[in-house]
Amino acid sequence: MIVINYGTALTKNTTDTLIASDISAYLKPGMNVAIKPNLVLSEPASNGATTHPEVVEGIIIFLKEFGIKNIEIIESSWVGDSTKRAFKACGYEQLSKKYNIPLFDLKSDKCTTLTYDDLSMSLCNKALHTDFLINVPVLKAHCQTRLTCNMKNLKGCIPDSEKRRFHTIGLHKPIAALNALMKTGYCVVDGICGDLSFEEGGNPVESNRIIAGRNPLVVDSYCAELIGYRPNEIGYLTYGKEMGLGEFYTDKIEIIELNPENKPIHSISRTGKAAKHRRFTIDRKFINEDSACSACYSALIYALHRLRGQPSEKIHIGQGFKSVSGDGIGIGNCACGFSRNVPGCPPKATDILERLQILQTLK
């Protein structure tokens, strides 16, 4: 079952979505429940990157009315940002005070190492050992994985060192393995105004929908199609299916729609480009990326967005270039072997922009 609710009454719509769903079959009043939004960076939800606090408020109201007393909001922002700052900037401090719900920064959590097949990883204990984890991602695009939704949102439940390592070993398989090791109790997707071109937001597309369901793989495969991708085009969804985490969405799965008269009308088409941000498109041929962290890659995207015209030559970025040297542009400490390097972990977008502008004038 997947429930979709349309409209702008975000808190009420979220509560109504859960009432119409089958979440009650899995909850018990004495449970400890952890709510995991996506607060990847310190930006308001209106920018298209972070979970609306009104959606989480609707979940809290539902849980309290159900009889759940032990509720926490847990999160770890991406490498390079502060979770505490994100809690404040995204409206969660106010939400915490209103309902007396504690906020927990997973960056300060202890971890447990578990193994799936031959892949070991450290998992934050708060997320791993809660009785019931409610995953509340934003439905949006990602410059490396194309889609980020429920399954990728669990990446916020691992320490920063693991976030970096995931990029070195390829994001897709470890994301799927993470979901095999850390079970989601229920999914509540913020489909209000996610950015359909870049995970850091800036080009939000108003869709005004809440999407809820039990299985992260089923819900994510459904959401992938909403933004123009087949599930088998998303690597971690394919791995998840192979690992037995579920099946891809089919029309045999029941869809319940609430307030369908409020459905948004959009025509979404893929560009075939490496990244598109704030209506600026970058051709794939200008970027040579190998295991780049999101923070580093997004800094490059910001710089290219500001750059007038295209880069003067190919850009190399990612941990795959740690042992590579030669002539060319290298972004970040991992690509320091190139003759023209912008250092940093991650580098500042302003530093990248300045270097690219200089190189343009020398061309």
* Sequence spans of domains, the chain: 2-262, 275-362
Which one has a higher pLDDT value, 151 or 199? 151
Helix (H, G, I), strand (E, B) or coil at 208: coil
Confidence of residue 272 (pLDDT cuts 50, 70, 90): very low
Confidence of residue 293 (pLDDT cuts 50, 70, 90): confident
> Is residue 121 packed enough to be buried (19+ CB in 10 Å), middle (13-18) or exposed (0-12)?
buried
What's residue 273's pLDDT? 36
Q: What b-and-e string marks burial along 37-73, b requiring 16 or more CB atoms within 10 Å of the CB? A: bbbbbbbebeebbbbbbbbbbbbbbbbeebebebbbb
pTM for the model: 0.81
Confidence of residue 101 (pLDDT cuts 50, 70, 90): very high
Q: Tens digits of per-residue pLDDT, 36-55?
A: 999 988 999 999 999 999 99
Q: Nearest 5°: phi and psi at 341? A: -120, 140
Q: Which CATH architecture has domain 2-262?
A: 3-Layer(aba) Sandwich (3.40)
What's residue 281's pLDDT? 57
Confidence of residue 337 (pLDDT cuts 50, 70, 90): very high
Which one has a higher pLDDT value, 251 or 330? 330
Is the pLDDT score of 269 beyond 60?
no
Helix (H, G, I), strand (E, B) or coil at 93: helix
Task: Determine contact, residues 114/121, Cβ cutoff 8 Å.
Answer: yes
What's residue 274's pLDDT? 38
**Strand pairing category for 280-282 and 326-331:** unpaired
Rounded to whole angstroms, the Cα distance separating 180 from 178 reads 5
Helix (H, G, I), strand (E, B) or coil at 359: helix
Q: Tens digits of per-residue pLDDT, 197-241?
A: 777 777 787 889 999 999 999 999 999 888 878 899 899 999 999
What's residue 277's pLDDT? 44
Mean per-residue pLDDT, 253-272: 67
Task: Determine contact, residues 103/96, Cβ cutoff 8 Å.
Answer: yes
